[in-house]
């Protein structure tokens, strides 16, 4: 029987002195360190923290899939050590990679979870109808789960976890990689359930704007609970420390951002539309800058400040700029694409798109999973032949001479393509020899990479044992060893926490300032602000193209507000006639 005192106090989860360590190849790791917290019933609680903070471990402990080393976890009145099955019978947990059976249909997946939750047959038709309606999956009941889009898969996962009307719902990064429209719809479903049934929800996320939606936030960092409060209370701690700096005539956004990031007392800079947002350290006066304007703080500011700020000060301009081939005419586009099409059987992944990229531009390719970004990207890199259309990279037609273009391209893939068992140095040696660098040049470039990407202290560590942020740096270093003048980055920030993402964009900015052309794909809409120009893709076509400013204006012209790129994206995608049915 549930402990009556807990029920009375309204606690759905009580953590007291919870610690949990894991043995890894690189020695023991303390995933959670003496965490005390009470999660309140009937609320939406966010677990926020950078990669490796212990969010997933905490969820698994709450659901009784892991046991704490010390301390106790009480979920819904049951001690998870004593009665894990009772816990699992009244809650639902949706892991990061939710286990949908991809070879089962939508309906069959629902049936399975209804059986597992022992939902009586009598109540099923009604519950199914409700869930199908809520998730918009009714039309796809007979479709295999593997053939759903990323957003629909997550919705089905949510429907499966909700089928037994749980009292507690745990969601581990439910919106990772999901397009903005589906992301909003997912949250609508969750909040509707909370208000209707009084269900409690605990979720983790890498999107800091989602933290603002929670009733309460648990801020985790390196296994410790840094704070537990409402998002507004977190933000209010930053009162008077946040500023907007508008642009100067003739100075690029990136250059201004870089300069501001180097000022004393500045802990965070982000590009926001036509302004740079500044966050100052505590008790530091605003910098002596023109065009400065106070702006209300956000949760994200508190997050960055509590975690000590992004380490961008160390990222300084390179002494030895990337060698740019000057024989090319600067006026010609570096990459030119026209009528690019790719078919997979009867399915058209990319439907005849056109764009061109100039030298030294940061060009963004945005879109949800399945929009055709990666396919376009692979064709540009020469990894996948185009079905139709023309494709010129660095003045070379990719259909005729793909290999000569490839030596001028640096490529970093979504999964980083590192050799996990090789050390950082061995990875760099391998990639430099793969690109055919001589001994002298190889040594020079590896020294450069160690300095530029601060890899010196982890030089002997195996790539698998690196934190994700370091892996990303190493992958980028490897892509730059042969001094390419075009850099292709495929979802470089996917799964990387906000701190590492900030560092990453600082590096990209510097490279672009040195004249490297960067083509980058991302599903983080706010990262679009770092691009000079971008295209938004949906269903294999280009939805909008231009500078971030142009795209926001285009969306605003429809009459809806488009303050952020995400708003703009959603507005533009709703403008599509075929979207109305989906």
Partner 1 sequence: MNAAHLNEGGISAMRLRGLMRKEFLQILRDPSSIAIAFVLPVILLLLFGYGVSLDAKHVPIALVVDEPGAATASFTGSFRHLPYFDPLTLPDMRSAEIAMREGRVEAIVHLRTDFGRKLYQPGGTPVQIIVNGVNANTGRLILGYGSGIWINWLHQYAQINHIHLPASVQVEQRVWFNSELRSRNYLVPGLIAVIMTLIGALLTALVVAREWERGTMEALMATPVTMNEIIIGKMAPYFVLGSGGMLISVGMAVWLFDVPLRGSIWLLFGVAALFLLVALGMGLLISTLARNQFVASQIALIVTFLPAFLLSGFIFEISSMPQVVQIITHIIPARYFVALLQTLFMAGDIWSVIWPNALALAVMALIFLVLVRRISRKRLD
Interface residue list for partner 1 (CB under 8 A): 22, 60, 63-67, 83-86, 88-90, 92-104, 108, 111-118, 144, 160, 170
Nearer to partner 1, 104 or 468 (CB): 104
Nearer to partner 1, 227 or 495 (CB): 495
Tell the smallest beta-carbon distance from residue 4 to partner 1 (Å).
16
Tell the smallest beta-carbon distance from residue 360 to partner 1 (Å).
41
Nearer to partner 1, 68 or 364 (CB): 68
* Nearest-angstrom CA–CA distance, 330 and 394: 11
Collapsing DSSP to helix, strand or coil, 547 comes out as coil
Tell the smallest beta-carbon distance from residue 88 to partner 1 (Å).
5
Tell the smallest beta-carbon distance from residue 160 to partner 1 (Å).
8
Nearer to partner 1, 57 or 571 (CB): 57
Nearer to partner 1, 81 or 259 (CB): 81
* Nearest-angstrom CA–CA distance, 538 and 558: 18
Write the DSSP string, 259-309.
HHHTSTTEEEEEEETTEEEEEEPTT-PPPS-SSEEE----HHHHHHHHTT-
* Nearest-angstrom CA–CA distance, 34 and 264: 35
Tell the smallest beta-carbon distance from residue 83 to partner 1 (Å).
8
Nearer to partner 1, 97 or 325 (CB): 97
Nearer to partner 1, 172 or 268 (CB): 172
* Nearest-angstrom CA–CA distance, 470 and 489: 16
* Nearest residue to 502 (alpha-carbon basis) of 296, 67, 163, 206: 206
Tell the smallest beta-carbon distance from residue 367 to partner 1 (Å).
24
* Nearest residue to 71 (alpha-carbon basis) of 21, 34, 22, 28: 34
* Nearest-angstrom CA–CA distance, 359 and 395: 12
Nearer to partner 1, 65 or 255 (CB): 65
Tell the smallest beta-carbon distance from residue 401 to partner 1 (Å).
37
Q: Are 40 and 200 in contact (CB under 8 A)?
A: yes
Tell the smallest beta-carbon distance from residue 464 to partner 1 (Å).
15
Nearer to partner 1, 48 or 94 (CB): 94
Q: Are 346 and 310 in contact (CB under 8 A)?
A: no
The token pair at 187 is 């949250």
DSSP code for 226: E
* Nearest-angstrom CA–CA distance, 55 and 219: 9
CB hemisphere CA count around 163 (13 angstroms): 28
Nearer to partner 1, 198 or 385 (CB): 198
Tell the smallest beta-carbon distance from residue 113 to partner 1 (Å).
7
Give the chain's length.
582
The token pair at 505 is 């964009």
Positive/negative CA dihedral, 248, 250, 253, 255: negative
Tell the smallest beta-carbon distance from residue 348 to partner 1 (Å).
25
* 195 class by beta-carbon count within 10 Å (0-12 exposed, 13-18 middle, 19+ buried): exposed
Positions of E strands within 413-510: 486-490
User: What is the phi/psi pair of residue 442, to 5°?
Assistant: -60, -50
């Amino acid at each position: 029987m549930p402990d009556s005192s807990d029920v009375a106090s309204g606690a759905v989860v009580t953590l007291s002195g919870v610690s949990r360590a894991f043995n890894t190849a690189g020695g023991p790791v303390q995933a959670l360190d003496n965490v005390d917290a009470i999660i309140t019933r009937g609320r939406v609680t966010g677990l926020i923290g950078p990669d490796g903070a212990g969010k997933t471990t905490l969820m698994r402990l709450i659901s009784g899939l892991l046991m704490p080393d010390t301390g106790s976890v009480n979920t819904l009145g049951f001690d998870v050590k004593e009665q894990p099955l009772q816990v699992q019978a009244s809650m639902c947990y949706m892991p990061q990679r939710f286990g949908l059976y991809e070879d089962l249909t939508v309906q069959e997946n629902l049936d399975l979870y209804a059986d597992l939750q022992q939902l009586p047959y009598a109540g099923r038709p009604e519950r199914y109808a409700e869930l199908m309606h809520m998730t918009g999956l009714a039309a796809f009941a007979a479709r295999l789960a593997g053939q759903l889009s990323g957003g629909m898969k997550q919705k089905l996962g949510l429907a499966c976890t909700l089928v037994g009307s749980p009292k507690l719902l745990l969601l581990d990064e439910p919106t990772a990689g999901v397009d903005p429209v589906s992301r909003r719809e997912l949250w609508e479903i969750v909040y509707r359930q909370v208000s209707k049934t009084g269900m409690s929800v605990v979720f983790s996320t890498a999107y800091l704007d989602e933290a603002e939606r929670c009733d309460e936030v648990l801020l985790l960092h390196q296994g410790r609970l840094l704070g537990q409060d409402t998002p507004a209370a977190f933000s209010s701690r930053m009162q008077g420390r946040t500023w907007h700096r508008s642009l100067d005539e003739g100075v690029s956004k990136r250059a201004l951002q870089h300069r501001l990031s180097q000022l004393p007392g500045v802990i965070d800079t982000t590009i926001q539309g036509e302004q740079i947002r500044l966050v100052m350290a505590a008790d530091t006066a605003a910098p002596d800058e023109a065009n400065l304007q106070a702006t209300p703080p956000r949760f994200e500011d508190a997050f960055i400040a509590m975690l000590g700020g992004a380490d961008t000060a160390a990222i300084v301009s390179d002494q030895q700029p990337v060698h740019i081939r000057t024989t090319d005419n600067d006026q010609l586009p570096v990459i030119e694409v026209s009528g690019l099409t790719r078919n997979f059987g009867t399915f058209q992944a990319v439907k005849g798109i056109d764009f061109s990229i100039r030298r030294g531009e940061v060009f963004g390719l945005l879109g949800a999973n399945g929009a055709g970004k990666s396919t376009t990207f692979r064709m540009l890199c020469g990894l996948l032949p185009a079905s139709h259309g023309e494709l010129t990279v660095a003045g070379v037609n990719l259909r005729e001479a793909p290999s000569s273009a490839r030596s001028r391209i640096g490529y970093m893939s979504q999964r980083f393509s590192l050799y996990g068992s090789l050390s950082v140095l061995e990875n760099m040696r391998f990639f430099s020899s793969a690109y055919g660098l001589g001994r002298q040049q190889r040594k020079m470039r590896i020294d450069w990479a160690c300095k530029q990407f601060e890899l010196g202290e982890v030089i002997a560590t195996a790539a698998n044992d690196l934190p994700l942020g370091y892996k990303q740096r190493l992958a980028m270093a490897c892509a730059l060893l042969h001094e390419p003048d075009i850099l292709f980055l495929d979802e470089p920030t996917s799964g990387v926490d906000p701190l590492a993402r900030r560092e990453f964009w600082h590096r990209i900015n510097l490279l672009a300032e040195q004249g490297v052309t960067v083509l980058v794909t991302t599903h983080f809409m706010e990262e679009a602000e770092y691009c000079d120009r971008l295209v938004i893709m949906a269903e294999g076509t280009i939805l909008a193209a231009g500078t971030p400013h142009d795209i926001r204006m285009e969306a605003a012209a429809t009459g809806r507000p488009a303050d952020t790129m995400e708003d703009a994206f959603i507005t533009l995608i709703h403008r599509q006639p075929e979207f109305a049915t989906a």
